[in-house]
Amino acid sequence: MVIYDAVIGLGAFISFIGTGYLIEFTGFIYPFAISGGIFFFFTILVAITLDDSLVHRETTSRIQVSVFLGQIFSLCTKVENISRGVSYILIYLLIFFIYNMPSSGSITTIFTLSSPFCWSSEHIGWFSAVSSIVVFVGGTAILKILQTCFKNIRDELVVIFGLLSSVASYIIFGLSTTDHMIYESAGVGILKILPVPLIKAILSRAVHPDKQGALFSNIYLLDTVCTIFGSTLFNNIYHHTVTLHKGFVFFVMAGFPFIALVMMIFVTCKTYSTRDPVELDLDNPQIQNSDSPS
């Protein structure tokens, strides 16, 4: 999961640099046109090349939309699809939602475009590209080091480190008055990408292999909701507080990973203090111990 996100970081590195120069020399039309063309190309590519790896016992000539939607939300409606209680899945989805809210929107771009920074589009492009490499690739390397040096380290503990890194990064960004402080905030936030793939991994282990698609449908649905509400919420907060303190919105944004941190610590302590190991029989996706705690 983390390597997958690191590859996304490499793609972001290239796109941020290219977009910065395209905006400077051609305006906004060409970057959007190129992005649309890329999405169209991959839509065709997926439609032509991607096959369903799951062998179906029964085939039907027509897909029923109601059945399809039911499969997406089957994690909450059919407990036999998960090895932990429904509340376990929901609490991690909620942590994911809360943590992901501040990552949406363009507040950092608006913040650096205005005084006292007055960055150009190339400067913003290079900063976004380098910070993506630092976060995605650097975070992946640090995770590998932690797993090598501490072989029994749990994903939940690394998630907590990542949440702390995110809180500190937003606070420093909100206090920034010079370019160097913004660079420092990017360095402090080197672990902030880790909670996203690790929460996905934690949830993936709790779901039957045949229901991984339903799980990630829920995750990316939440991600889309975060993008919509996050952009609206934080843009409005910035608009109404910019005269009070320009970086105030980042303090509000820091509150979201802090809430997720408190929830994560609580869930982790509860899980490992009352843990009763439960495993799924891959040939028969039924809960092996119905009395296990959720």
- Tokens standing for residue 215: 């799980």
Residues 88-100 pLDDT 10s: 888 999 999 999 9
Given a contact cutoff of 8 angstroms between Cβ atoms, the answer to whether 135 and 187 are in contact is: no
| ∠ CA 151-153-154, rounded to 5° | 135
* Residue type at position 215: L
Domains of the chain: 2-38+78-267 (1.20.1250.20)
* Distance separating alpha carbons of residues 238 and 248, to the nearest angstrom: 7
Cis ω before 209 (30° cut-off from 0): no
- State the SS3 of 238-276: HHHHCCCCCCHHHHHHHHHHHHHHHHHHHHHHHHHHCCC
Name the nearest CA neighbour of 192 among 138, 123, 255, 126: 138
Angle, nearest 10°, between helix axes 179-188 and 121-132? Answer: 20
Rounded to an integer, the average pLDDT of 158-167 is 95
**pTM of the complete model:** 0.75
The pLDDT-based confidence of 175 (bands split at 50, 70, 90) is very high
Residue 148 identity: T
**DSSP for residue 84:** S
Element (H, E) at 281: strand 280-281
- Is the bond preceding residue 102 a cis peptide, omega within 30 degrees? no
pLDDT tens digits along 98-154: 999 998 667 888 889 888 888 987 888 788 888 888 888 888 889 889 888 888 888
